[in-house]
Structure 1
Amino acid sequence: MKRFVKALGLTAAMSLALVGCSNDEGSSSDGGKVTLTAWAWNVNVGALNDAVKMYEEENPNVDLKVEDIGRLDVYDKLSTGLAAGGVGLPDIVLVEDDRIQGYVEAFPKGFLNLSEKGFTEHEDKFPDFKKELASFDGNFYAMPFDAGPGGMFYRRSLFEQAGVNAEDIKTWDDFLEAGKKIKDATGSYAMPLDKFKDDPTFRMMLNQLGVYYFDENGNIDLTSPKAVEAMEKLKAFADADLIKDVDGWNGVVSSTVDGSVATIPFGAWYYGTIIDQAKESSGDWGVFLLPGFEEDGNRASNLGGSSWMIPSAGKNTEEAYDFMEFFSTDPEVQNMAMSDYGLFPSLNTAYESELFTSGDEFFGGQKIWELFASEMENIPTAYYTQDYSLGLDESIKAQADVFNGKDVKQALEEAAKRLSDRSGREVNSY
């Protein structure tokens, strides 16, 4: 469990935000032995290395050489290699879900069409949003891996002190009223947020409402009624002084540890940070799903996640596909990645294990992983496009404008206009 905890803590910060070449030796076959090469970062490297040991039990002819490369460096190297026609690329590469569509849009021949290899037969094993993020024009170009189902991590003692029952919170309005009670009784804020540098709560709100910076056609959708509704709701918390303005990731963590916030809306991966950084608070934590925007409204959302892609220029595409198919669709492999590295699986057959049906002592015996798994099928798809980084930048600026007093609709319209000027994309009219 310690390994699980540390792994989740390491992956958490990376989920908030948003090239030397592999040598020929690493991607060669020698006397029938094939050595696959892969690029990944952080705990994903260990998961991949452990998985290949399991794979080698029945496939002794395959070895794996994983290069542990920084996340952004992977994208620099990948973009450079794709632009050069595949020069220096590995057999396998880890790509965050918010970048998959952009890569396939920019380099339509750069990655193996996995549907042509038969991966479509596994589509029922994954939630719709992961399938759509891993596909382009109806074909799989990535194998779904981990996800970040959203939830509200909360301090039981602060809720109890204010007489608030988490089970009674069904809507964001319910949470707003609960937040006021909690702050009056304890002095703790409802949630932390780096108001002027990041927008994770707004992103989760957009996602649960079924909208995002862009729509499924790639048009800018920041001015949709639902986007306005989400920003208005976030503004209501700020107006009530229920948002603690923190400085980046460290500010979020410190407010979690010191109890100055009662709730932290984040992806499932934040569990590891709580366990690792707030050790003295064992038993004082719980989780509930994101509040809905209306009674019986959708409460499922996602923040973070990645998938595996196979560059079409790789030397061993057949062997790479066979190994990654095993990695992506075997429940034992996915539960290993979860238990040892804190990587929440999107493979639905993995949820049948004891890991997901057991209570967690740190969280008061609550079956938190079962809760997170229960929302996976209801998470809407977020459409990122290759201009996601621009959308993120303009969304954060709009949020900052709102917190500085600008009208919500005006702030989003101005952000959409700037995004259109930068990307050349059309803005949806409402």
Structure 2
Amino acid sequence: MKTLAALLLGATALVGTQAMAETTLTIATVNNNDMIVMQKLSKDFEQKNPDIKLNWVILEENVLRQKVTTDIATQGGQYDIMTIGMFETPLWGEKGWLSEFSEVPVEYNLDDVLQSVRDGLSFDGKLYALPFYAESQMTFYRKDLFEKAGIEMPDKPTWEQIGQFAEKITDKDNEVYGICLRGKPGWGENMGQIGPVVNSYGGRWFDMSWKPQLDTPAWKEGVTTYVELLKKYGPPGVASNGFNETLALFANGKCGMWVDATVAAGFLTDTKQSQVADKMGYAHPPIGKFEKGNHYLWSWALAVPASSKEPEAAKKFIYWATSQDYIKLVAEANGWAAVPPGTRTSTYETPEYISAAPFAKLTLETIETADPTDATQEQVPYRGISYVGIPEFQAFGTAVGQQMAAVIAGQTSVDEALEASQALVTRAMKQAGYLKD
């Protein structure tokens, strides 16, 4: 009987071990360079946690947003970890759709995470996601092209100056375009970039009564500036270019300037991936008429949906992927300039990083000066710089983005697109109950 009992105990232990080994986390993330690196380096996590296996779902930005929004709203439970941002996190945290990070391990050093980033990933003082990287905007430019043209980039250029520079450095015969900007429709694609331009010309999405303001002179001036730059000095097919497509163009030497996310800097200074790594210059994002709201604050962060069946294992992975040790792991694998930026004070106190990343100081400055609570010249009832912090924005923001892409593609005029946008946003706000008929 003792032998039988021992066999049964051994069998039970074996089953338990197999059950542990079968813990699988499904991670939905965006196909940006830093996330591809995370997937590659995640072997380190699996080696340290042999009872946890990782299943990766890597998607284009617009597709990712659509799929994770659908899944979490229906409590589908398809994903254990979602890559979301400062738009979704507080909204979904308020609804109880996300698992709170209420007991963060001491060794994680949460106080090291930048306060503005933590605030953007919280609701009512409760933290619902941890930042994988954080970003604002900057102006990237080719020093060699500027020197050849005999021009100099100021520290804080205006959009008018950007147009003048673009004219002088454009060489379409040799496929060098003065400026590259996002044209692909999406609330986080082209509208994420157009929004700050409109802010800097004095525009806003809504007045204090939630009446849409897209048919105003400020919107026309901001959108016209953006569109005309691309039509005159941009690459062909720009209405299909999002962040990754534009990053590839710049890295391959096709762009003289680019105004976009600060996170691109690490990629563009990597000689293994960028043909212009030794020619890079950096400046503040351009100003229209006003500096307020001309650059955003964003974080791609990792969150655990309430529908996950493995929340503790999911959090264990997130602590690993957003830790100081992970940043060191990336530095060892790809160099200090390539580490995920904008999340931790310690990164910006590391001499090796400051030495390797000439863009570090500017990145931190733009992150710290972007204020989602005060981003427009006139008062607004919403929070956000490049987006409006209400659930309905995903739909109408993307619809407006489609109108903007049509203008960039030459299919309609700025006036027609803004008139259509004003109508569709007004309709959406009435349907959602913000406006009365």
Q: Same fold (TM over 0.5)?
A: yes
1:346-396, Cα deviation, whole Å (9 max, x unpaired): 233322223431145xxxxxx123322232111233335434243123134
Partner in structure 1 of residue 144 of structure 2: 157
Q: What CA distance in whole angstroms lies between the structure 1 residues aligned with 2:197 and 2:224?
A: 11
Q: Which AA in structure 2 matches 1:371?
A: L
Q: How far, CA to CA, are the matches of 2:143 and 2:122 in structure 1?
A: 41
1:94 paired residue among 83, 86, 90: 83
Q: Percent identity?
A: 17
User: What is the DSSP-based 3-state SS (H/G/I as helix, E as strand, rest coil) of the residue aligned with 1:94?
Assistant: strand
Greater relative contact order (Cα < 8 A, sep 6+): 1
**Does the alignment pair 1:268 with 2:259?**
no
Do 2:38 and 2:321's aligned partners in 1 also have CA atoms closer than 8 Å? no
Q: Which of 288, 297, 315 is the matching residue for 1:293?
A: 288
Q: Which residue identity is paired with 1:369?
A: A
Q: What residue number does 2:229 align with?
A: 237
Counterpart mapping for 1:364-375 below 5 A: 367-375=358-366
Unpaired segments ≥5 residues, structure 1? 1-27, 361-366
Question: Contact 1:55–1:326 at 8 Å: present in 2 too?
Answer: no
CA-CA distance at 1:65 after TM superposition: 2.0
The structure having more radius of gyration, on CA atoms, is 2
1:346 aligned to which of 305, 326, 343:
343
CA distance in 2, matches of 1:82, 1:402: 33
- Confirm whether residue 202 of structure 1 aligns to residue 189 of structure 2: no
Q: 1:283 to 1:418 in 2, by over 3 A?
A: same
CA RMSD of aligned residues (A): 4.7
In structure 2, the residue matched to 1:69 is: 57
Q: Say whether residues 1:37 and 2:25 are aligned partners.
A: yes
Name the counterpart of 1:394. 400
1:193–1:244 CA contact under 8 A, matched in 2: no
Q: Give yes or no for the alignment of 1:141 onto 2:128.
A: yes
Once residues 130 and 24 of structure 2 are traced to their aligned partners in structure 1, the CA distance between those partners, rounded to angstroms, is: 17
2:305 paired with 1:311: yes
Structure 1 position 417 matched with structure 2 position 423: yes
**Matched residue SS, 1:177:** helix
Deviations 1:90-123 (A, max 9, x none): 2x33234454456457xx232213358799x947
Deviation of the 1:412 alpha carbon: 2.5
When the two structures are superposed, what TM-score results if normalisation uses the length of structure 2? 0.68
Q: CA–CA distance in 1 between the matches of 2:254 and 2:134?
A: 28
* Counterpart position of 2:318: 324
- TM-score normalised by the chain length of structure 1: 0.68
Match of 1:167 in 2: 154
Structure 1 Cα separation of the partners of residues 65 and 183 of structure 2 = 27
Whole-Å separation in 2 of the counterparts to 1:79 and 1:299: 28
Per-residue deviation, 1:242: 3.1
Contact 1:101 1:136 in 2 (8 A): yes
| Separation of aligned partners in 2, 1:246 and 1:262 | 17
User: How far apart in 2 are the matches of 1:195 and 1:75?
Assistant: 18
Q: Does 1:333 align with 2:326?
A: yes
* Displacement after TM superposition at 1:325 (Å): 4.3
Structure 2 spans left out of the alignment, 5+ residues: 1-15, 373-383
Give, as a single letter, the amino acid of the residue that structure 2 aligns with 1:370: K
What is the rounded CA distance, in whole Å, between the counterparts of 1:44 and 1:280 in structure 2?
A: 22
Query: How far off is 1:67 after superposition?
Result: 0.9
1:419 corresponds to which letter in structure 2? V
- Aligned AA for 1:146? Y
| Counterpart code for 1:416 | Q
Residue type of the alignment partner of 1:95? I
Amino acid at match of 2:301: S
